[in-house]
Amino acid sequence: MRSMFFFAAVTLGCNTGSDPVNTPPEAPPLTPVTAAPPAFTPPTVVGEARWYQYPDGRRKVTNVFGFHTKTAIGDKATLVPATTGFAPQEASVTAVSEGDVGEDAPSVNVELSDIADPAWQAAAITGPPDGGGVAFRLIVLHPPVPSARALEISSVPADALPKGVSASLVVGAVDFTGDERPEVVSTEFCCDNPVLPAAGGTCEYTCGADYLRTDAEWAVVRSTQPL
């Protein structure tokens, strides 16, 4: 009797039937979803400014250049630090006045609101020991481009720069779409030899040019030269 029970247990424990095993259908292959680049309105102003600390410790956006279209108080602009590691900020126009007549159109003097961002307030400055000096250069975009971000200049491929512009001339590069290729490039160079960068300190006079890319085409939207 004991051996018969053992045989039955072994038989029940082994699945020797030929019933087909039900398997779930194969899932269809996943289709990669590519996020659409952020939409933006191309700025009509690509200017520059400085994030400056006064000797008394106050910090303010100063030396705002590039506005050739008169704007209204309260209008917004995006401020992009050319130095990576600092988040862009939005500022409001607090004052507007007529400026000098430039090469292309009458310029407009614009003052922008203060920035309270803690990282901006703590940024190291370059200047004399009296406590005044510049923390970093700003690229000013108006109307604002909220998706704008500064690129590390050394990481920008040569084929992503405007024709004839070498990386040594670039002092700021801004990406609007997140593809790591700039829509704005700011340059500085020696006025008497435009292939030499101003950063070397060998220029008698420094000139500059700001480029904006739209529909894969680059255009100079602002140029600077000594008065």
Which of 97, 120, 146 is the C-terminal boundary of a domain? 146
Give the end of a domain, one of 131, 146, 161: 146
Same domain, 122 and 215: no
Check pLDDT > 70 for residue 14.
no
pLDDT digits (tens, 9 = 90+) for 156-175: 999 999 999 999 999 999 99
Q: Decide: 115 and 51 in contact? Cβ < 8 Å.
A: yes
- Beta strand ranges found along the chain (DSSP E): 45-53, 59-65, 76-81, 89-101, 106-112, 133-142, 149-150, 170-175, 184-190, 193-197, 206-214, 217-224
Q: What is the pLDDT of residue 35?
A: 63
Assess if residue 34 is contained within a domain: no
Q: How much is the pTM?
A: 0.80
Per-residue model confidence (pLDDT) at position 12: 42
Edge-to-edge strand ranges of the sheet holding 59-65: 59-65, 45-53, 133-142, 76-81, 89-101, 106-112
Question: For residue 181, what are the domain limits?
Answer: 151-227
Count how many domains the chain has.
2
Answer yes or no: do 126 and 49 share one domain.
yes
Q: What is the pLDDT of residues 38-96, one digit of tens each?
A: 777 889 899 999 999 999 999 999 999 988 777 889 999 999 999 999 999 999 999 99
Q: Is residue 220's pLDDT more than 70?
A: yes
On whether both 210 and 184 belong to a single domain, the answer is yes
pLDDT at 1 over 90: no
> How far is 80 from 220, CA to CA, in rounded Å?
19
